[in-house]
Amino acid sequence: MTFKIKDGIYHIPLELPWSSPGFVNVYLIDDTDGFIMIDCGVNGDHYFELLSKKFREINIKFNEIKLLIGTHMHSDHIGLSEKIREEGIPFALYKNSIDYLDKYNDWTIRFKELKNYAITQGAPKSFVNNISEIQTPIYAGKVSRPDVLLEEGRIKNLNRDIETLFTPGHDITEISLHDTASKIIFSGDHILPKITPFIPTESKDSDMLAKYTESLDKVEKIKHDIIAPGHGDLISEPHNRIKQMKLHHKRRSEKILTILEEKSFTGWEMVNNVFPRKLDDMNLRLAFQETMAHLKYLENSGKVKQEEIHNISHWSKTKEV
């Protein structure tokens, strides 16, 4: 159901082609001479018609949208962007997005580094082969260079004071948007109400958990009343939610250090220690990336180290801890 958050701000839950999360939140913000749209859902004629129907319900036309902003380069947030641009609506992403267009449009490029990294962590051939077989889904659409490349700070050419906050972690291009008048932060997937967002690892040099914790600190310092997330309900106690998410990652890091207390493990063995239950192919890939994100974060913090034995990385706790 579409509803108003505050005067001039609409919240539109839009259906997704999978069960969890089943909806992505699209937001419209009145800018006096048109609306700013935040995120747009997945690619496909069916989803464009669903969005069109939602617009008709609140008596808004596409030609009233003056700017579409994508919070980050995931298909459920920007997959429909090219179709919307065909309506004459300019599209904005954070300025570093141009470096990741090829990875978004071709998932064989996107997962090439991860496949090679998994081999160095002792992953079985079945896991590596599953990564190799990933194809770009049709619901991702194709994304070309954005019309607007956003930088941190107030967005130019808007009547409203809306500030871009660069908040990488869940995705390297992730931004949050602070509407100062309403004291709402539109967080994309950076801060969610019930789950902690997936933190990826793509290669041996990736430390996305460090970026994520820094991004949480950035948002925590801002005075705001509500977080409007990319999925789920509005967060009415945003600072408490940020503290909960920090605690989640602290406890997972502590769990990893406990596992490494007595002996070393390969990266793949650590995945099975941290996530012992049986997982399907997709969730196993996510578990691998999340485990490696924590190990890399702990390594850069000086709490764990890795040693290569027969071309496979073995992780252990440092003596200083």
Q: Is 272 helix (H, G, I), strand (E, B) or coil?
A: helix
Angle between the 281-300 and 112-120 helix axes, to the nearest 10 degrees?
A: 70
Query: Count H helices, E strands: the chain?
Result: 11, 15
Which tokens is 220 given? 């925590």
Return the percentage of the chain with pLDDT > 90, whole number.
Answer: 94
Q: What is the pLDDT of residues 297-318, one digit of tens each?
A: 999 999 999 999 999 999 999 9
Rounded distance between C-alpha atoms, residue 292 and residue 266, angstroms: 11
List, as one string, the DSSP characters of 178-231: EETTTTEEEEETSS-SSSPPP----STT--HHHHHHHHHHHHHTS--SEEEESS
Closest CA to 152 of 163, 143, 144: 163
pTM assigned to the model: 0.96
Give, in order, the Cα–Cα distances in Å from 42 to each of 94, 230, 292. 19, 13, 28
Q: What is the pLDDT of residues 75-109, one digit of tens each?
A: 999 999 999 999 999 999 999 999 999 999 999 99
For residue 58, what pLDDT is reported?
A: 93
The answer to whether residue 171 scores a pLDDT higher than 70 is yes
For residue 213, what pLDDT is reported?
A: 97
Q: What is the pLDDT of residues 234-274, one digit of tens each?
A: 999 999 999 999 999 999 999 999 999 989 999 999 999 99
Long-range interactions of 84-88: CB distance < 8 A, separation 24+: 84/37, 84/40, 84/48, 85/147, 87/62, 87/63, 88/62, 88/63
pLDDT band with cut points at 50, 70 and 90 for residue 320: low
Q: What is the pLDDT of residues 189-204, one digit of tens each?
A: 999 999 999 999 988 8
Answer for the pair 209, 169: CB distance below 8 angstroms, yes or no: yes
Q: Is 49 helix (H, G, I), strand (E, B) or coil?
A: helix
Answer for the pair 89, 37: CB distance below 8 angstroms, yes or no: yes
Answer for the pair 69, 158: CB distance below 8 angstroms, yes or no: no
- The CATH code of domain 3-258 reads 3.60.15.10
DSSP one-letter code for 100: S
Which tokens is 91 given? 């599209």
Angle between the 208-220 and 281-300 helix axes, to the nearest 10 degrees?
A: 80
